[in-house]
A and B are shown apart, each in its own frame.
Chain A
Amino acid sequence: MSVQNNKIKPSQYDPAKHTDVERIKVESKYLRGSIQESLIDPITGSVVDDDQMLIKFHGIYQQDDRDLRNERRKQKLEPLYSFMIRARVPAGVATAKQYQQLAELAQNYSSGSLRLTTRQAFQWHGVFKRNLKKTIAGINSTLLDTIAACGDVNRNVMANPLPETSAIHQEVYAWSKKLSEHLLPKTNAFHEIWLDDKKVETSEEPIYGQTYLPRKFKTAIAIPPYNDVDVYANDMGFIAIVENNQLIGFNILVGGGMGSTHNDDETYPRVADVIGFCTPEQLLEVAENIVKVQRDYGNRQVRKLARLKYTIDRLGLDKFKAILHDYLGWSLPEPKAFEFIHNGDRYGWLQTEDKQWHLTLYIHSGRIIDNAQSQLFSGLLAIAKIHDGEFRITPNQNLIVSNITPENKSNIETLVKEYGLSIGKTETPARLNSLACVAFPTCSLAMAEAERYLPDLMSKIEALLEKYQLLNQAINIRMTGCPNGCARPFLAEIGLVGKAPGKYNLYLGASYKGDRLNKLYKENINETQILEILSVLFADYSHNRQPAEYFGDFVIRQGHIKAVANGLDFHG
């Protein structure tokens, strides 16, 4: 199919049809808005409505402590506003020195903890408006930044953090950085607002234009056989193809995404389609043009239908490919064969050929904080001070202390013991694989608890697993406070998605490898009901499973739930 004759132009802003977010982008003068005025307004800890949308592009979300909302309303006080800041860390790699500075910022300006995200970024929570500029400037001084960590642009580029595939990993990591840089917004607004740079009146966005993308855009690169990055859950994905120990290129994936709305069949999670192959040198060109197709064809009238996955299903995959080929001026060759076996982390110590050591630490829900169980925050800060390698964030919200010299290994081992850090040897496989989003009290979208509650629920689930001799079985269990999917719940073998305080939708039947979605099994159930259902299913699984059969595959074979081939039959 040729689209040569169609006049394809960047979508023109149409105030009559487009969402209000589009207006905000247009009026913002390339992401400036009135952020500077909002920051100095002394009567509120918030920024004005339009700026709340714009600061996302700068890596900042306004939140408030929802536990206190009602109390403060009665006290005639506004909600306790604070800001979540997300640093963009391509492939999740930071040096020990950088980590130390980032942790010190958390001590000085935020709630005293850091959070690792499921997309390999660092987050600070609870930064008050009066400390925002100081924190952002501090992050910038580490040579990391927060530009495009959120917002309707390409966000942090994920890549496999495992050092064990060393040479290839280095190469892929370099590409992830280039890709991240290439797709960054080019506006000078960030530097003017946060770093007091002089104002540059005209800045242009050669890739994005003044309305940027219709919605957020997520990119990941996976290196088989590991699918740690959940490459199928991204708008744009690349699978590294290695032949004879050489990186020969990437398979290209488009149209993955988790977000959906409860009881709204127009919205659904979707796993990405593999549409072709490109060489490393073609990577940036291909990525840029996929972004441009989404820029021009994405839905700007209904925000919940604006992700690339809906654009593709609306156009049809063939039409989408045709448009992309037209944008590129050449056609993508067929994808190469590959195989994934795994999407979890390998905990503990690992030595690579170059004699360097790597330590994967288990970090519950990615929350780096000192508490009764362990002095995780203090311990990692102590390690950062004596370590000269890196800290790598895994897509499962864990942390790899990488490139530890053989001489330094025992020092770090001592600190791990001293501060009570977990190297994943005492937790069950189910717990190690579990993921939760932040939810209450800070996330404004949350309908139910996640991070604060999942550990308790996991203990109860572990009791069931023990009863049915399944304690050593790895099962992916993920919980989110809403259906927007931050912890990728629709790719969990057991997915729990919040509906109201104490109530969840239960999803079953995703594959362990992360290439098949799950499906709604039971709606709006409480803890007792969740445990009752799981008890029955675990009993069945324990007695009737086939050798090496994963739970997500079992529930389908046994007829508990239908398999989902793709997003469009997620609801069917």
Chain B
Amino acid sequence: MTIKEKTSSDIVSSIFEPELLKKVQQLAPAKLQWLSGYCAGLAENLAEPLAASFVSPATLSEQQSDSKVLVLYASQTGNAETLAAELSQRLQAENIPVTLNSTLDIKLKTLTNFSSIVIVASTHGEGEPPDDAIDFHEAIFSKKAPKLAGVQHAVLGLGDSSYEFFCQTAKDFDSVLSKLGSQALLQRQDCDVDYQADAQNWIQQLIEKLKTIQPQKQELASTSIIPLNNKSEQLYSKNNPFKAAINATQKITGRDSVKDTYHLEIDLADSGIHYQPGDALGVWADNNQQLVDEILQLQGFTAEQPVHLNGEDISIQEALTKKLELTLLNKQSLKQLADITQSEALTKIIDEAYSDYIKNHQWIDVLHLSNAQLSAQQLVDLLKPIKPRLYSIASSLDETPEEVHITLNHVRASNEYAERYGLASHYLTQELTESDELNIYIDRNKNFKLPADDKDLIMIGPGTGIAPFRAFLQQREINQAIGKNWLFFGNPHFNTDFLYQVELQKFLHKGVLNKIDLAFSRDQEEKVYVQHKLLEQADRVWQWLEAGAYVYVCGDMQRMAKDVENALLLIIQQQGRKTPEQAKNYLKQLKQESRYQRDVY
């Protein structure tokens, strides 16, 4: 993210009361449009004075943070860390404001908060960064790296000259910082195995240098202010989706997992799109080309054969790829097909095995089964239009501005013919790659929203049901919410399927997440699921409920959500000494108070 972006988001939070901001964000699109026009007009009228008042609060905070030195270390054995800590102590002794951080837990976007960046980096193996710096190294060389104009840097390398790529990591950091626009404060020092003398000498020089440049900082701060971006926000919707690029596609289940779960990061830059934790992302997907080709071939159509669809003439290939649903079956269309083809096999399935059949069959299978010989137009008339797929958003806009994250399983099912794939999950995870574009929009979900910051949360989200709770936790951390957070998560195996494990560990260590209960169903003889974990903790769950906690459930509707609801009812009944009827009423009451919210599918 650039300085510009940071400045504008700072301004937003500095001029708006959080509550006002929340209200604005909740406004309907039409009202927002009106408001943006109103504000633009207001701004034009007030022009100069307003601009000044916009900028000044931000300027102050910028100045304060800008005068700071960031000392980062990338350490394998602890030597770099020790040197960095020493440097930081000595800077403090000189009254130079300094922040000491490992490259492991520095966020790229915070680099622009500092006027000087000092990196002490060791090099590992054949020129590789040490373990704690691999992510940072990768990130700062990626397109996500911020521009660092106006920043100054200095790099101290630790290495072993008997290796070919001596101090390579330090060299990398030095060059990439310069490339991002930062000025070298001091020439890089590459230290060999006996590093102490060289390192101490360099640290001394650095401190002298930093002492001399301290006063210049205020100038720096004032030049880094960039005027507000006045570009009016376009409003995107289901029928007017935004063309967004994929920033990252990452499988997040480990090797040999039975599940293929993915984490996707989608770029919202310049879209003006806002969303809140609990909202869903609508995705328009194209059908798989191979599947389309198979249907064309089976029916003997040529790709270019014209068909009439929604008042337009387009090719059958385009209709099948972009317009028509090929993966989901519906009874009505199947009955029509059975009438056309007079297929006994199809009729039998419709009458006797419909709900099982549709779990792992798609249109291609039905065409096989019924030996259909349709005209292109007949097929097009049978099929329903493609619908967008919705995914619970897994990120908070405040944590990753201008990005939206989702968590999804690659849906696969085998049948007597072949392996079949889910429309959007296959499209998103197997066909698109980083920097490809897709059509998206935000699907607001008023019924799955965070409560006030002082409320406690119980979040139950096994499998990809974890997604909105990642967003919740990010938001609660940013809000510095004082309410407690308790997560129930489950999946088949601890080793491979603990989604967002490292992030959840950090949330726990930081105290954002207060309690976690895990159900890894296949790690022991008897299967353990989240509802069992709820029951194990019945007394605590009851205490939380009675203290006003909000309960959220996300994930599988068919089984999990029912089992969880039954577990909750049992807890209310037993712990609250209620009849089944009273327990139901208690839960109903929770629903009415928005204290029992579900996002199940």
CB nearest to A502 among chain B residues = B126
> Which residues does chain A contribute within 8 Å of B508, judged by CB atoms?
43
Number of interface residues of B (CB under 8 A): 33
Is there an interface contact between A76 and B162, defined as CB atoms closer than 8 Å?
Answer: no
CA distance A45 to B125 in the complex (A): 26
Is there an interface contact between A76 and B503, defined as CB atoms closer than 8 Å?
Answer: yes
Is there an interface contact between A523 and B162, defined as CB atoms closer than 8 Å?
Answer: yes
**Chain B interface helix/strand/loop/mixed:** mixed
> Which residues does chain B contribute within 8 Å of A263, judged by CB atoms?
160, 162, 193
Decide if B12 is an interface residue (CB 8 Å cutoff).
no
- A: interface residue count bin: 20 to 34
> Which residues does chain A contribute within 8 Å of B498, judged by CB atoms?
77
Is there an interface contact between B135 and A128, defined as CB atoms closer than 8 Å?
Answer: no
The digit string for A97-135, where 1 denotes a CB below 8 A from any CB of B, is 000000000000000000000000000000010100000
> Which residues does chain A contribute within 8 Å of B516, judged by CB atoms?
42-43
By CB atoms of chain B within 10 A, which of A72, A500, A523 has the most?
A: A500
Is there an interface contact between A73 and B125, defined as CB atoms closer than 8 Å?
Answer: no
Partner of A76, one of B193, B252, B255: B252
Is there an interface contact between B163 and A76, defined as CB atoms closer than 8 Å?
Answer: no
Decide if B598 is an interface residue (CB 8 Å cutoff).
no
The digit string for A67-83, where 1 denotes a CB below 8 A from any CB of B, is 01111111111101000
Decide if B500 is an interface residue (CB 8 Å cutoff).
yes
CB nearest to B135 among chain A residues = A73
Decide if B495 is an interface residue (CB 8 Å cutoff).
yes
Is there an interface contact between B163 and A499, defined as CB atoms closer than 8 Å?
Answer: yes
CA distance A74 to B254 in the complex (A): 10
The digit string for B492-514, where 1 denotes a CB below 8 A from any CB of A, is 00111011111111001000000
The digit string for B447-469, where 1 denotes a CB below 8 A from any CB of A, is 00000000000000000000000
Decide if A225 is an interface residue (CB 8 Å cutoff).
no
Decide if A456 is an interface residue (CB 8 Å cutoff).
no
CB nearest to A67 among chain B residues = B255
Other A-B pairs beyond A76-B502, A524-B162, 13, CB < 8 Å? A42-B518, A43-B501, A43-B504, A44-B505, A71-B255, A74-B250, A76-B252, A76-B503, A77-B254, A77-B498, A262-B162, A263-B162, A524-B164
B81 → chain A, closest Cβ, in Å?
13
> Which residues does chain A contribute within 8 Å of B126, judged by CB atoms?
500-503
B250 → chain A, closest Cβ, in Å?
6
Is there an interface contact between A500 and B163, defined as CB atoms closer than 8 Å?
Answer: yes
The residues in A between 174 and 202 inclusive whose CB is less than 8 angstroms from any CB of B are none
A289 → chain B, closest Cβ, in Å?
35
Is there an interface contact between B131 and A76, defined as CB atoms closer than 8 Å?
Answer: no
Is there an interface contact between B523 and A130, defined as CB atoms closer than 8 Å?
Answer: yes
A–B complex contacts, Cβ < 8 Å, 13 sampled: A43-B505, A68-B254, A72-B254, A74-B250, A76-B500, A77-B254, A128-B495, A262-B162, A263-B193, A447-B125, A500-B125, A501-B126, A524-B162
The 6 closest A-B pairs by CB, nearest first: A500-B126, A263-B193, A500-B125, A75-B252, A77-B501, A42-B518
Partner of B125, one of A68, A262, A501: A501
> Which residues does chain A contribute within 8 Å of B523, judged by CB atoms?
130
The residues in B between 154 and 213 inclusive whose CB is less than 8 angstroms from any CB of A are 160, 162-164, 193
> Which residues does chain B contribute within 8 Å of A42, judged by CB atoms?
516-518
A442 → chain B, closest Cβ, in Å?
15
> Which residues does chain B contribute within 8 Å of A243, judged by CB atoms?
none
Decide if A407 is an interface residue (CB 8 Å cutoff).
no
The digit string for A257-269, where 1 denotes a CB below 8 A from any CB of B, is 0000011100000
Decide if B251 is an interface residue (CB 8 Å cutoff).
yes
Partner of A45, one of B162, B193, B263, B495: B495
> Which residues does chain A contribute within 8 Å of B500, judged by CB atoms?
76
A304 → chain B, closest Cβ, in Å?
11
CA distance A570 to B495 in the complex (A): 45
CA distance A264 to B160 in the complex (A): 11
Is there an interface contact between B263 and A73, defined as CB atoms closer than 8 Å?
Answer: no
CB nearest to A75 among chain B residues = B252
Is there an interface contact between B135 and A75, defined as CB atoms closer than 8 Å?
Answer: no
Decide if B134 is an interface residue (CB 8 Å cutoff).
yes
> Which residues does chain B contribute within 8 Å of A70, judged by CB atoms?
134
A288 → chain B, closest Cβ, in Å?
35
Is there an interface contact between B250 and A75, defined as CB atoms closer than 8 Å?
Answer: yes
> Which residues does chain B contribute within 8 Å of A68, judged by CB atoms?
254-255
A522 → chain B, closest Cβ, in Å?
11
Partner of A524, one of B163, B193, B255, B501: B163
Decide if B75 is an interface residue (CB 8 Å cutoff).
no
Decide if B253 is an interface residue (CB 8 Å cutoff).
yes
> Which residues does chain B contribute within 8 Å of A77, judged by CB atoms?
252, 254, 496, 498, 501-502
The residues in A between 23 and 81 inclusive whose CB is less than 8 angstroms from any CB of B are 42-45, 68-78, 80
CA distance A218 to B528 in the complex (A): 45
> Which residues does chain A contribute within 8 Å of B494, judged by CB atoms?
45, 128, 130
> Which residues does chain A contribute within 8 Å of B135, judged by CB atoms?
73
